[in-house]
Structures are given as C-alpha cells and as structure tokens.
Amino acid sequence: MLLAEVAATSDAVAATRSRLAKRAAIAELLHRTAAGEAAEADQAAPNIEIVVAYLAGELRQRRTGLGYAALRDLPPPATTATLTVRDVDAAFASMAALEGPGSAQARSTAAAALFGAATEREQAFLRGLVAGELRQGALDSVVVDAVAEAAGVPAAAVRRAVMLRGATGPVASAALLADEPLAALETFTLEVGRPVRPMLAASAPDIAAAFEKLGSDDAPAELCVDVKLDGIRIQVHRRGDEVRVVTRSLDDITDRVPEIVEVVRALSSDDLVLDGEALGVGPDGVPRPFQETAARSATREAGGATSEAELASQLQLTPFFFDVLHADGRDLLDAPLRERLAVLDEVAAPHTVRRLVTSDPEAAAEFFAGALREGQEGVVVKSLEAPYAAGRRGAGWVKVKPRQTLDLVVLAVERGSGRRQGWLSNIHLGARDPDGGFVMLGKTFKGMTDEMLEWQTARFTELKTDDNGWVVTVRPEQVVEIAFDGLQRSTRYPGGLALRFARVLRYRDDKSAAEADTIETVRSLAGF
C-alpha cells in the first residue's frame, strides 16, 4: 500500500463534514488494503494496522524523538510517489529506537532521507502525523466505524473488541482478514493484565445540564456524582502479587509508582481490574498542581533509571478508584454502575473517590461547589444503570468543570491543511509582559467555525510581518478570548507555562493588546 493512497484518502476525509462520507472513504481504503494483502497473508496485519493508525492521525511509535525544529527545514520533495506505508513505519521505528551519543544527528539524517523520498503532499501528511496535528476530522471513533462498515459487522462489536484489546489496529486486522469477522471479534475478551481502553465522559456546562442529559422524562433519575480529581487516569490490574499500572493512553508506569503498587497489593482481593486517578496530595490535604503529579508519574527516558529510594523522596501519589471492571474472576463491564460500585466498595475501600448518589440537582450543585472549594477539578455525573462503555464519550458519564478564560494576544498563525487548506488556522497565543513584549503560552486550533477561519485569515494577512511558508508571524495586536482547563509547567515555551486544552471562545475587537492579561496573572492562576 502506497503512502500516497493513504494521504489521498486523508484529503478526501478532511474535505467533507459528513461523518458518513468520512466513514465510507476510510472503509473503501481498508477494503483495498485487505484485498491487496491477500497474496501475502503473513505480512497483511501490519499493513492494515499501519493504515488504521495513520487514518486516525497517529504514528504507531509513541515517541519518535522528532521535534518541531526537524519539521521546519525539510528537503525538496520527490516528484514521484514511491513510499509504502511499510517503508514509513520502518523508518519511524528505526528513529524511535535511536539513543545515546550521536542519536540526534542520526535521527535528523534518517528524517531527511524519509521526507526527501516523499512527495509534497506526502511530506505535509507525514508532518501532520509527527506533530500530532493531522486535522482531518477522522479520529479513532470514525475509523472504528469504518472498520465495521468494511467488514460488514455491527459497529458495537468492533467497539467492544477495540475496548478489550486496547488498540484498533489488531481488531481491524482480525475483522478484515477473517472468513468469519464476528467470530474473530469475539475472541477479544477481558484479560487481567492486558489494559483496556478507558471509558470517557462527555461534557456539560453545569450540573443542571448534566442532570438533563442523564435524567428521565418521567421522574428525576437517581445519579452518581463523583468528585473529579485533577490527577492522572490510572488503570490497575492485579493477579496475585503481580500488579500493573497504566495511564489513560495505556502507557505502563508500574515501575514509576511503587506506592500505588503497594496499596493495590494490600487490598483484600488478588484478582482485580480497577479504574481511577492517581493524585499528589500535600501535607495539608490539598491536591498538588496537576503538573507535579504528571511529572512524578512520567515515563523515564532511556538511560535515566530512577531508584526506589529516589522515587520515595519525590511527591507521593495516592490512588483513588471510581470503578471496577473485574473482581475475583468475574467480569463486570456489562453490569450497571450501581452494581459495580457495590463491588468497588467491597474490594477497594478506603481508596475510593468520594461520591454522592442523589436525584436532586441542587444537592449535586452543593456537592460540586464543595469539591471546588477543596481544590478539586469538578465532578463527573454518572448514570447508575450504564455499563462500562470504554473508549468513547458515551451518554453514561458527563463531566462538569468550571471554565477558566484569559484574554491573550495572537503572535503568529499556521497555515491550515486538509479541510482547512487555504485558511490560516492554528494560532500562537501570548500573554502580555509588563516589561514589554509578549510571552508565548501555547497554540490552538480548537473552537474555530468556518466563519471565524475566514475572518481570521483576512485579519492575520493584514497583520503579517513574516511568512516562512508554514508559520505567518503577525503584529501582536489581535486579542482573543481563550477558554482552558488548566495550566502546567512547560519547557517548550519561554514563560515556563502552557495552557491545557485551550480553545477559542471569541475574538475581542473591544480590547487592545495593552489590555490583554499579563504573564503575572497567568502565573497567579497556576499558583507558581
């Protein structure tokens, strides 16, 4: 399978807003991939897995070591498309494996060779994959539905298999290459020790809206309201003394969190799969900033092993569990939350998330306010009748968090790709420095309507001071109101801070850059 075919499908997907059209385009490519590999069945699965990953906007290698600098100065593109997806996957795998002295130079040389063999369109596609900014409107959920369409099986069967396997690629291979796709999907089951995709929550602006989403038209529904901790999502598997701890992205951090392993080994049940959060808590009982928890649990770089003594001297993490997927030989995925909570209280007490079960929105709102006073992130409102629907933002869980906003200044803007081709899209955000100038805090392309993209393309073309073909630098005059979920320490940006999940609310023509929020204001919000 040529990379050019995948890039062309990505363009087609990006060019339409229709989810059905996106799904059909991806399904057609998956059909061709499976048919073309029939003659080399021993190599078929990797090709399908690579294509599935790329269409979801991801590389199979979690870390390649390539940064933005490596993507700025690309070699001239090739004139003919010759790269296969297997060539590309092998090249990124080799780069990811490089370490030690000379690895940076070797990685740059390998990247130049790969991009030099790519056409102009393929270079843009690869750059989007590496940067994690392939904006085509086809996230993994669309790809999962396309796999179902291509295999002629119910989407629910594919989603469940993906949840249990923890990855879409192997499930796609099984469904598309088997004579009996449904039977192949049924071979994916819950295994203690193998991570499953976590259940995700939809969002609501307030408690009333969350209750409306989950409530009944006939009578007020009794719902569970969990405190939402600002930690890292963890999934814990235990079989006897063997304990495994993974993150939301299914990265294994067991060796980084010996204190969590110790807590789990002390539980009464020795056959468990638990879902929860790990949180750093100060001596005063107040949660520590998210960045401290994230840094404490971060994966060690190669060659940077940390001893248990060194880990013990760092911030200690405490696990708080809010769900149980398996206990004492019994799978609980399909059991209603009400039943799972009863089991959770038996097997994980006293390490459970504080919750309120109520049908009264006012009581839930008071609980929400109390959580915020404690320094927590918010709450998650949950249906007591919902099963554990992993890997998608279903109707069973709804999170409610207070919205923070800042008025920032646009410093630069990147040219769009895919459906945003021809527009100026990703904006660089800066806070005002009282001593002069602006301090960059991050970038975002979230929250932009087509009308906004059209407006900002004209506006930033007027303000342009430099253009390197990708990034357009502008006069720092335009103020934009940004909503965000928090702040974290960052070495990428000069202010040492970065916005979490930033999104555009509106452009502020009523404010000048001199009225934008200052870097001191931002730092005070972060508590740094």
**Dihedral (Cα; 450, 451, 452, 453), 10-degree rounding:** 50
Residue 386: φ, ψ to 5°: -80, 140
Residues 6+ apart with CB under 8 A from 385: 336, 337, 338
Residue 404, strand partner residues: 484
511 is catalytic: no
The CA-based angle 395-400-402, given to 5 degrees, is 155
C-alpha–C-alpha distance, residues 14 and 146, integer Å: 15
User: What is the strand order of the sheet 200-204 is part of?
Assistant: 200-204, 393-400, 378-383, 223-228, 355-358
Residue 29's alpha-carbon distances to 1, 143, 149, in angstroms, are 10, 11, 11
- Gap between the Cα atoms of 399 and 410, Å rounded: 30
Q: For residue 298, what are the CA distances in angstroms to 152, 181, 255, 304?
A: 41, 38, 10, 12
The answer to whether residues 220 and 279 touch, using CB atoms and an 8 Å cutoff, is: no
**Integer Cα distance of 395 and 306 in angstroms:** 41
Rounded-to-integer distance, Cα 405 and Cα 485, Å:
9
- Interior/surface letters 1-27, b for 16+ CB within 10 angstroms, e for the rest: bebbbbbbbbbbbbebeeeeebbbbbb
Helix (H/G/I), strand (E/B), else coil: 161: helix
Which residue has 């087609």 as its token pair? 12
Sign of CA dihedral 417, 418, 422, 428: negative
List the catalytic residue out of 22, 213, 228, 401: 228
Strands 438-444 and 464-467: unpaired
Which amino acids are annotated catalytic? 228
